[in-house]
Amino acid sequence: MLFEPLQIRGLSISNRAWMPPMCMYSADPAPGRAGFPTDFHVAHYAARAAGGAGLVTVEATGVSPEGRISPYDLGLWDDAQISSFARLTAGIRAGGAVPAIQLAHAGRKAATDKPWLGGGSVSETDLGWLPIGPSPLAFPGLPVPAELSRDEISAVVAQFAAAARRADAAGFDVVEIHAAHGYLLHSFLSPISNKRADEYGGSLENRARIVLEVAGAVRAVWPESKPLFMRVSATDWIEENPHDSRDAWTVEQTTQLARWVAELGVDLIHVSSGGVDQVPVPNDVDYQTRLAAEIKRDANVLVGAVGRITTPQQAERLLAEGEADAIYVGREMLRTPSWANDAAIELGARPRFIEQYAYTQPSARA
Ligand code: FNR
């Protein structure tokens, strides 16, 4: 099943072995170049496409300069950036994959350094900026964010829509809205980080309001024939911790959110978890894929599973048992760009570019 095509709206995706968004922290932060993809990004994404992935998701891309996780992130806040992103979509398409992009706002977790340099806050006097959030509550170790006004919330919603329009112009076939990992949209969803008393805080409906507004605004400008995905954190992992009784974001609330955004035209929920606070996360291999299965069953939506999926057999089992509709392979595709082609050979399916890569090895022919 991993190499069965998947049709969503007007798009046919050749297989279900997909690459999730993963920041490379490799853009040039200099004014005038910030946010632009480089030759490295073109090579990096094209390699995973040629390696057989059905869909390749370009990393978290800021809808505004302040929406970047780090000064080294990609961004699509300016029409001048479109042509550089068109180089990414051309490379991914030439590699045989569907080009997707994750549109993101980092919120209170913005303005941090490259993770291999410690990932700490980057000060305003250096390359950083003051982060924003639903409430003036800091993520551990980061500065207190400025609380967004209602007008500023509307501006962020418009920034997501404008970035989606640019993603279409750059040739992307799928947009994924980043509503996970404690970044801006998830920080509104979670009572851990959202203490607002207006219509954007309090009840589930209120905490979800900005996410529904973003989904509606993006769907309104994103072509009808093109799929729209949303990445969610299915739980804050607070409920699962017997020593932590804080009110938090849960899988039941995620399921309700999935139903709401599906009505607004979101086609697939990409199920991740955590990120709003530093809390222990289970370390069993299906810690996260079981959340995908739960949301698929209860919300009756297309679901992408991710997290610690490393072998073709594991991916195949998740699909065969109806736990997911697509499989995202993250770190393993960083290590092995040809993960999907290798999986195809192992499962007896036909790999991509069989002539170019395998004619000298007849045993690898499918
Ligand atoms: C990530 N992840 C991530 N998630 C996301 O939604 N947007 C992003 O830009 C990034 N960036 C990122 C960079 C790097 C270097 C890693 C390793 C991870 C999370 C990623 O998409 C995925 O969910 C996790 O890596 C878990 O899947 P694997 O690696 O266990 O297959």
Q: How far is residue 56's CA from residue 174's CA, in Å, rounded to a whole number?
A: 10
- Asked if residue 269 belongs to a domain, the reply is yes
Q: Atom 8 in ligand 1: which residue has the minimum CA distance? A: 22
Q: Active site includes 357?
A: no
**292 CA to centre of ligand 1 in angstroms:** 16
Query: Is residue 360 domain-resident?
Result: no
Phi and psi at 301, nearest 5°, equal: -125, 165
Report the CATH number at residue 191.
3.20.20.70
344 in any annotated domain: yes
183 CA distance to ligand 1 middle (Å): 13
pLDDT for 362? 63
Residue 16 located in a structural domain: yes
- Which residue, judged by its Cα, is nearest atom 27 of ligand 1? 307
Among 185, 207, 194, CA closest to 147: 194
Is 262 part of a structural domain of the chain?
yes
Q: Cα separation of 302 and 326, whole Å? A: 8
What local confidence, expressed as pLDDT, does residue 85 receive? Answer: 98
Q: What percent of the chain has pLDDT over 70?
A: 99
Q: Containing domain of residue 181, as a range?
A: 6-351
| Ligand 1 binding residues, C-beta < 6 A | 20-23, 59-60, 102, 178, 180-181, 231, 272, 306-309, 329-332
Report whether pLDDT(363) > 70.
no
The verdict on residue 357 lying in a domain is: no
Q: Alpha helices, DSSP H only, in the chain?
A: 39-50, 82-94, 150-169, 184-189, 204-221, 251-263, 289-299, 312-320, 331-335, 339-347, 354-358
**Nearest in space to 135 (alpha carbons), one of 181, 202, 70, 68:** 202
Residue 365 is assigned to a structural domain of this protein: no
3 state SS for 264-277: CCCCEEEEECCCCC
DSSP state, 112?
A: B
**236: in domain:** yes
For the chain, what is the domain count? 1
pLDDT in tens, 67-103: 999 999 999 999 999 999 999 999 999 999 999 999 9
- Assess whether pLDDT exceeds 80 at residue 366: no
Q: What's the 275 CA to ligand 1 centre distance in angstroms?
A: 12
Counting residues of the chain whose pLDDT is more than 90, the rounded percentage is 95
Q: What is the pLDDT of residues 170-180, one digit of tens each?
A: 999 999 999 99
